[in-house]
């Protein structure tokens, strides 16, 4: 029996990863109703991370936390046994800014810490933390305060959640920036969160002072560790205080979702994301999927909203070919409004061209 594994990421702002997989499956079945189609939506640690875990069999657990500027937010984490998956983007990320208005100096990572507390209270003893899509540049201070740290007079870690001592924390992280300096969290990423040059200077100084407090409390200065600057310095807070492990986001998620087992015996793997471009080559989901599929000897094709990579770039990334919504519908507005219909048409085309 022909086996197809559908492992797409979301089409951001248009369709969830689960929706992409479902649409492709419907198109494939028009041509090959006999094929065994396995849907495994993926994510790389940004928005959609919890959704991908739920789609693979984790249970969704609703929780209320504080958003980036303190407003209550209804979010969720995913749980399977003692493993919990929490996501910064949906808890207190850019998508949670009221009215989409940036707050570079005020935004906090506290909501992510509150989601972690909920998972710890429920008995999770391994936390997978997706930190993409952050709105804050607080060095993880808000997150640690939610976990019980006191920062009003120095840094007191004696009140940290007691379960942390027996909990493994693994973080999806795809950058190697330090916490401070010209390549740090404030200088490189805060402008994307609405910071002016003056704001950047203020934020970088704050991060330096915060790193001093953490070093005094822990006896270790980890501000220069690669990845410390991830998510506005949340990477630093998690590593320096909680001893977290940083891993490339898509690799971590594919392990979590059991990709290596699911790809065995597969005749075709279909991955994708909204825009297949130069950024995709820097550790994004499609290239991660193609690398993992290549280890199993499975051929890979991709779908996307728009394709900005050359055939040579695709082949170098392990992707045999890529199909874009704009191939079947040149009007971009229609592509954004009706991605499921167009993806089903692409699925039909994929079946004819790759499944015989």
Residue appearing with tokens 């499609």: 286
Q: Are 122 and 98 in contact (CB under 8 A)?
A: no
Task: State the average pLDDT over residues 19-47.
Answer: 97
First-to-last alpha carbon distance for the chain, in angstroms, is 13
Sign of the torsion formed by the C-alpha atoms of 182, 187, 189 and 192: negative
Q: Are 46 and 249 in contact (CB under 8 A)?
A: yes
Q: What is the pLDDT of residues 266-303, one digit of tens each?
A: 999 999 999 999 989 988 999 999 999 999 999 999 99
Q: Are 348 and 31 in contact (CB under 8 A)?
A: yes
| Cα distance between residue 73 and residue 279, in whole Å | 30
Structure tokens at 301: 């094709």
Rg (Cα) of the chain, in Å, rounded? 21
User: Does 36 have pLDDT greater than 90?
Assistant: yes
Q: What is the pLDDT of residues 184-228, one digit of tens each?
A: 999 999 999 999 999 999 999 999 999 999 999 999 999 999 999
Q: Give the pTM.
A: 0.95
Structure confidence at residue 160 as a pLDDT band (50, 70, 90)? very high
User: Does 90 have pLDDT greater than 90?
Assistant: yes
User: Does 356 have pLDDT greater than 90?
Assistant: no
Structure tokens at 256: 């979590």
Cα separation values, 152 from 107, 149, 156, Å: 18, 10, 9
Q: Which fold is adopted by the domain 57-250?
A: Glycerate kinase, domain 2 (3.90.1510)
pLDDT above 70 coverage of the chain, percent = 100
What mean pLDDT is reported for the chain? 97
Per-residue confidence (pLDDT) for residue 102, from 0 to 100:
97
Per-residue confidence (pLDDT) for residue 283, from 0 to 100:
82
For the chain, the domains span 3-42+267-354, 57-250
Q: Which of 11, 8, 22, 9 is nearest to 337 (CA)?
A: 11
| Strand, coil or helix: 181 | coil
Per-residue confidence (pLDDT) for residue 28, from 0 to 100:
98
DSSP state of 163: G
Per-residue confidence (pLDDT) for residue 223, from 0 to 100:
98
Per-residue confidence (pLDDT) for residue 282, from 0 to 100:
86
Q: 248, exposed or middle or buried, with CB in 10 Å at 0-12, 13-18, 19+?
A: middle
Instruction: Tell the CATH superfamily of the 3-42+267-354 domain.
Output: Glycerate kinase; domain 1 (3.40.50.10350)
Structure tokens at 228: 């410390």
């Amino acid at each position: 029996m022909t086996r197809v594994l559908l492992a797409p990421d979301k089409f951001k702002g248009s369709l969830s990863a689960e929706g992409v997989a479902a649409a492709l499956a419907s198109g494939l079945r028009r041509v090959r109703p006999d094929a065994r189609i396995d849907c495994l939506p993926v994510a790389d640690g940004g928005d959609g991370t919890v959704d991908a875990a739920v789609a693979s069999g984790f249970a969704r657990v609703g929780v209320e936390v504080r958003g980036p500027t303190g407003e209550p937010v209804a979010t969720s984490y995913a749980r399977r046994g003692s493993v919990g998956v929490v996501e910064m983007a949906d808890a207190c990320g850019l998508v949670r800014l009221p009215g989409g208005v940036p707050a570079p100096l005020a935004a906090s990572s506290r909501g992510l810490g509150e989601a972690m507390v909920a998972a710890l209270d429920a008995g999770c003893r391994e936390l997978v933390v997706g930190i993409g899509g952050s709105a804050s540049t607080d060095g993880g201070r808000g997150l640690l305060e939610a976990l019980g740290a006191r920062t009003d007079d120095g840094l007191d870690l004696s009140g940290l959640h007691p379960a942390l001592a027996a909990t493994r924390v693994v973080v999806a992280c795809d950058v190697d920036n330090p916490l401070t300096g010209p390549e740090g969290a404030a200088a490189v990423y805060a402008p994307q969160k609405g910071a002016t040059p003056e704001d950047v200077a203020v934020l970088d100084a704050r991060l330096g002072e915060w790193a001093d407090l953490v070093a005094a409390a822990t006896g270790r200065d980890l501000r220069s560790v690669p990845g410390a600057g991830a998510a506005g310095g949340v990477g630093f807070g998690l590593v320096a205080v909680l001893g977290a492990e940083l891993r490339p986001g898509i690799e971590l998620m594919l392990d979590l979702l059991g990709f290596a087992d699911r790809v065995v015996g597969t005749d075709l793997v279909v991955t994708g994301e909204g825009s297949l471009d130069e950024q995709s080559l820097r550790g994004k989901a499609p290239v991660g999927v193609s690398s993992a599929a290549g280890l199993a000897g499975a051929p890979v094709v991709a779908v996307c909203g728009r394709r900005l990579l050359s055939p040579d770039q695709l082949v170098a990334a392990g992707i045999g070919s890529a199909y874009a919504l704009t191939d079947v519908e040149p009007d971009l507005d229609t592509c954004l409004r009706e991605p499921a219909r167009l993806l089903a048409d692409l699925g039909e085309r994929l079946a004819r061209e790759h499944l015989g």
